Structure 1
Amino acid sequence: RIPEIKDAIGLSNGAFGFVLIGSTFGSIAGAQLAGRFIHTYGSQRVIFVGSVIMPAGLAGMALATNAVALFLTLFTMGVGYALLDMSYNFQGTVVEKILGRRYMSSFHAMWSTGAFITTVIGGAITRHVSPQVNLLVIAAVCLIAYLISATFLLPPELDGHKGDAEHEAKIPLFGKNVMPLWLLGVGLLASLVGEGAASDWGAILLRDEMGYEKGVYASAFASFALAMIVSRFLGDRALDYFGPARLVKLGGYFGGSIWGIAMAIAVPLSSSHSLTALIIVNIGFVAAGLGIGPMFPAFILAATKVPGIAPAVAISRVGVIGIAGFFFGPTITGVISQYTSLSIGMMYPVAMLILSGYLSRGIKSSKA
């Protein structure tokens, strides 16, 4: 429903891009706090807090009537999202440690499944339900689902909180010991720029640049999300077969290249061959989804292998750098498109995805 929210408030691409910074600031604040909170109180308790904050922000988006209100609600949602994101990822690493098998990519596949289902439902009901009602209902459902599911997670006494030396929970912003985290964080950021762009701008690209109508323009992110589901359900085996570094490298180089080429061909073609252009652009979003899918699990798992730093804090540091890309990337895309076009602006996340493949060397250095 992002295109409709943007239009209802009357924001240009550039202004909307700046409003999205609210999510960036919120996610940075939430991720920065998450590591210490998990280390001190346990991930399950942090999840309970995030389970209330994020739906509150989502409901606020439905009620926002101006850019400032939308900014504040996006900030709130960003805080809640980051608390949940870091805590659930930490739970995933503990589960892998206890069971001695890879599960992280499959856990992320469930996130992608939720994104795909909501995109399909959203595309189907756009003609029948207002964005306000849509978001309020989702907020209520999420609040209930989050709180119920949180009761079944690993309790604090099992998730290893306070299990590391206290000095390992206090790390400087810069320094030799934390440089591996910066390399991993920037690599994650580069991949999440692509994910954020597909989420926030994919539908707008198909609507404004290619002329598709409601329901159809949601197909770009639906294709992207479906591809991520497939790649992440297969990701645990792929991580074992190729190794995390090689898998990220292949995903970045091939996913980014095909995505960029597909958009470059499809956008000008849409005016004369609408169906062909729709197929081509969706192939590009599929390639991006397949490439990006295993990256978050690979970078997060690599962070827990950095010596001398508590895993929860390492995940938080990489997350605070990387998760900002999911929110901040669309802002840059919006600014570029404001002065050029959205089809050109989308080349920015393409370039960042290729960069993420290059930064796969950071995974090697962490011995993931």
Structure 2
Amino acid sequence: MSVLNALRLSHIPALAFAILGLYWGSFAAFVPLLKERVGAGDALFGLLLLGTACGLATTMWFAPVVDRWLGRWSMAVSALALAVAFLLPGVVTSPTGFFLAMFACGLASGLTDVIMNARVSDLEAQSGRSLMNANHGSFSLAYAVGAFATGLAREAAVQPGLLFAVLALGVLLLVRRLRMEPAATSDDTTPASLPWGIVILCGAVVLIAFMSEAAVETWSALHVERTLGGGAAEGALGPTMLGLTMAVGRFGGQAVSERLSDTSVILWATMLAVAGTVLVVIAPVPLVAYLGFGTMGLGISVIGPLGLALVGRLVPAKLRTVAISRTAVLGFLGFFAAPTIMGFVSEGYGLRAAFAAVALLLLLLLPLVFALRKRGA
């Protein structure tokens, strides 16, 4: 199935993925400026980013309830909440205010993420086709566009508050296109309890993938600017390269996942991501770092989506949204715990050492994949 056909079949959640990607790409490129604004060192800034993790952990437990309550409007409402939340980090200037702003962004991001992934999983079940990589590719492509455009905006001295306000206006114009009914389930014999073994294994896969992705998104611009002496636009190319190659990897993974098993794809992708991370660690100039970030992006790109796709396929339909939300709790806690850990490692040993820790983290995927194979994944 071609990428275009996959996106055509799932165009409504794909738009939600793109909106989320634009916001986080823009945020990643603004990180050096936002960090300077709140007057935080690496370790403190990493702690402040835990506000996002707290928001995610909170929202993902009630996201299935909100989804059932709002029905076809749930994706639209979550996108509006996202637009409002991201106005906050663009205007706050104190550490406390930034923490609360990131908590709000985590709430809205988590709600959007659970709902849009559940809709894609519904469509996969209905069509019998693999769609998750194509949709996550939409996120990555939009992330790259957001990061690159924000880098140019920073060079032109555009302030974060103004840019996030423009994005909010765009969401407002598109919100009616995000209406989509959740899949109807009438299977009353479905067991009430989740298969937690599957959820935890898949969640751990997503956790590591998103921790690695988040490390690059949040710290790549600072690594290029501070460690390698690049300017603002050069720094923005770090997350831009990640986003572009993740988009390529996910769109390519759409075809690969139809020919190879999910676990085989994860194994090969892990080794590619580790190789890219090593390049980032040893890079003497920004150009080599870009190559490393790009190679990381190609590898990491398919791991998280396949983890979410696996749990969606391995649990009963009636439990799909709940299972995805619980898996996402594990995964997205890592997405925002990683910047905190990176901050502490960087504070003590530098960003090269912090990225070396990411390579070791990625290697933990190997035993998880073999455990999933034993469960028939």
- TM above 0.5, one fold? yes
For residue 14 of structure 1, what is the amino acid of its counterpart?
A: A
Q: State the alpha-carbon separation in 2 of the partners of residues 94 and 135 from structure 1.
A: 31
User: 2: distance between equivalents of 1:212 and 1:236?
Assistant: 35
Q: Out of 96, 116, 126, which is 1:68 matched to? A: 96
Q: Does structure 2 retain, via aligned residues, the 8 Å contact 1:169–1:313?
A: no
Contact 1:181–1:306 (CA under 8 A) maintained in structure 2:
no
The question of whether the paired residues in 2 share the 8 Å contact of 1:191 and 1:352 is answered with no
SS at structure 2 position matched to 1:216: helix
- Contact between 1:36 and 1:312, CA under 8 Å: does it hold in 2? no
The one-letter code matched in structure 2 to 1:343 is R
Which one of the candidate residues 316, 319, 323 is aligned to 1:314?
323
In the alignment, which residue of structure 1 is the partner of 2:313? 305
For structure 1, which runs of at least 5 residues remain unmatched after alignment? 172-176, 270-276
1:210 aligns with 2:210: no
Partner of 1:130: 159
1:301-360 CA-to-partner distances (Å, cap 9, x unmatched) read 111233457111111111110111111111111111111112211222222222234422
* Match status 1:23 vs 2:47: no
Q: Does 1:225 align with 2:243?
A: yes
Aligned twin of 2:66 = 37
In structure 2, relative to structure 1, the CA distance for the partners of 1:168 and 1:46 (3 Å cut) is farther
| 1:338 corresponds to 2:347 | yes
For the pair 1:263 / 2:271, whether they are aligned, the reply is: no
For the residues of structure 2 that align with 1:143 and 1:21, how far apart are their CA atoms?
28
Q: How many residues align?
A: 346
Q: TM-score, normalised by structure 1?
A: 0.88
Return closer, same or farther for 1:314/1:209 CA change in 2, 3 Å cut-off. Answer: same
Amino acid at match of 2:206: L
- The structure-2 alpha-carbon separation of the partners of 1:20 and 1:143, relative to structure 1 and needing over 3 Å to count, comes to farther
- Aligned equivalents of 2:115 and 2:103: distance in 1? 18
2:293: which partner in 1?
285
User: CA contact under 8 A between 1:92 and 1:104: conserved in structure 2?
Assistant: yes
Distance 2:45 2:202 in 1: 29
Residues 129-180 of structure 1 deviation map (CA, whole Å, 9 limit, x = unaligned):
12222222223323433x23213x3x14xx12x5454874554xxxxx3122
Q: CA RMSD in A?
A: 1.9
Q: Which amino acid aligns with 1:252?
A: T
> What SS class does the counterpart of residue 88 from structure 2 fall into?
helix
Residue equivalent to 2:112? 84
What residue in structure 2 maps to residue 324 of structure 1? 333
Alpha-carbon distance, 1:242 to partner: 2.1
Cα separation, 1, equivalents of 2:41 and 2:186: 49
The question of whether the paired residues in 2 share the 8 Å contact of 1:184 and 1:362 is answered with: no
**C-alpha distance in 2 between matches for 1:198 and 1:344:** 13
Q: Which residue pairs with 2:15 in the alignment? A: none
Deviation (angstroms), 1:42: 6.4
Deviation at 1:254, TM superposition (A): 2.4
**Residues 1:101 and 1:341: Cα distance change in structure 2 (over 3 Å):** same
Please say if 1:351 is aligned against 2:360.
Answer: yes
Q: How does 1:106-255 map to 2 (within 5 A)?
A: 106-128=134-156, 129-145=158-174, 147-151=175-179, 153=180, 155-156=181-182, 159-160=183-184, 162-165=185-188, 168=191, 170-171=193-194, 177-255=195-273
Q: Tell me the CA shift for residue 7 of structure 1.
A: 0.4
Residue type at the aligned position of 2:230: Y
Q: Flag the 1:305–1:56 CA change in 2: closer, same or farther, 3 A.
A: same
**Residue in 2 that maps onto 1:272:** none
